[in-house]
Chain A
Amino acid sequence: MAFFKRVKQPLIPKIKLSGVSKSFGSKNVLSGVDLEIFPGESVVIIGGSGTGKSVTLKCILGLLTPDAGRVEIDGVDLAAASTVQAETLRAQIGMLFQSGALFDSLNVWENVAFSLLQNQKMSRRQAREIALQKLAQVGLSAEAAEVYPADLSGGMKKRVGLARAIATNPNVIFFDEPTTGLDPIMSDVINDLIVSTVKTLGATALTITHDMSSARKIADRIAMLYQGKIIWTGTVKELDKTDNPYVRQFVAGSAEGPIQMDLKA
Chain B
Amino acid sequence: MRFQFINMMGRVLLHFFQATGALGIFGAKTLYHCFVPPFYGKAFLRQLIEIGFYSLPVVALTTLFAGMVIALQTYTGFAQISAEGAVSLVVLIAVTRELAPVMAGLMVAGRIGAAMAAELGTMRVTEQIDALVTLSTNPFKYLIAPRVLAGVLMMPVLVFIGDILGVCGGYLIGVYKLEFNATTYLMNTWEYLKPMDIVSGLTKAAVFGFIITLMGCYNGFYSKGGAQGVGRATTNAVVSASILILIFNYILTELFFNV
Do chains A and B interact in one complex? yes
How many A residues are at the interface, by size bracket?
Answer: 20 to 34
* CB proximity to B under 8 Å, residues A83-105: 83, 87-88, 90-91, 93-95, 97-99, 101-104
Q: Is B81 in the interface zone, CB < 8 Å from A?
A: no
Complex Cα distance, B135 from A103, in Å, reads 12
Tell me whether A90 and B127 are in contact in the complex, defined as CB-CB below 8 angstroms, given that A118-B40, A118-B142 are known contacts.
no
Would A63 and B137 count as touching, CB distance under 8 A?
A: no
Tell me whether A61 and B134 are in contact in the complex, defined as CB-CB below 8 angstroms, given that A118-B40, A118-B142 are known contacts.
yes
* CB proximity to A under 8 Å, residues B108-164: 123, 126-128, 130-131, 133-138, 142
Q: Is A115 in the interface zone, CB < 8 Å from B?
A: yes
Complex Cα distance, B128 from A59, in Å, reads 17
Give A94's nearest chain B residue, CB to CB: B134
Tell me whether A98 and B136 are in contact in the complex, defined as CB-CB below 8 angstroms, given that A118-B40, A118-B142 are known contacts.
no
Tell me whether A63 and B133 are in contact in the complex, defined as CB-CB below 8 angstroms, given that A98-B127, A118-B40, A118-B142 are known contacts.
yes
Tell me whether A95 and B126 are in contact in the complex, defined as CB-CB below 8 angstroms, given that A118-B40, A118-B142 are known contacts.
no
How many B residues are at the interface, by size bracket?
Answer: 10 to 19
Would A101 and B136 count as touching, CB distance under 8 A?
A: no
Q: Chain A residues with Cβ under 8 A from B138's Cβ? A: 83, 87
B133: contacting residue among A90, A118, A119, A164, CB under 8 A: A90
Q: Chain A residues with Cβ under 8 A from B130's Cβ? A: 58, 61, 63, 97, 101
Q: Is the interface of A mostly helix, strand, loop or mixed?
A: mixed
B188 to chain A, nearest CB (A): 49
A93: contacting residue among B127, B134, B142, CB under 8 A: B134
Q: Chain B residues with Cβ under 8 A from A97's Cβ? A: 127, 130-131
B229 to chain A, nearest CB (A): 16
Would A87 and B136 count as touching, CB distance under 8 A?
A: yes
Complex Cα distance, B60 from A164, in Å, reads 43
Q: Chain B residues with Cβ under 8 A from A99's Cβ? A: 126-127
Would B126 and A118 count as touching, CB distance under 8 A?
A: no
Q: Chain A residues with Cβ under 8 A from B131's Cβ? A: 95, 97, 101-103
Among A94, A101, A164, the one with the most B-chain Cβ atoms within 10 Å of its Cβ is: A101
Q: Is A114 in the interface zone, CB < 8 Å from B?
A: yes
Q: Chain A residues with Cβ under 8 A from B128's Cβ? A: 101-104
Q: Chain B residues with Cβ under 8 A from A94's Cβ? A: 134
B135 to chain A, nearest CB (A): 5
Complex Cα distance, B131 from A15, in Å, reads 20
Interface residues of A (CB under 8 A from B): 58, 61-63, 83, 87-88, 90-91, 93-95, 97-99, 101-104, 114-115, 118-119, 164, 174
Chosen A-B contacts, 30 in total, with CB atoms closer than 8 Å, are A58-B130, A61-B130, A63-B133, A87-B136, A90-B133, A90-B135, A90-B136, A94-B134, A97-B130, A97-B131, A101-B126, A101-B127, A101-B128, A101-B130, A101-B131, A102-B128, A102-B131, A103-B123, A103-B128, A103-B131, A114-B135, A114-B137, A115-B135, A115-B136, A118-B40, A118-B135, A118-B142, A119-B135, A164-B135, A174-B134
Interface residues of B (CB under 8 A from A): 40, 123, 126-128, 130-131, 133-138, 142
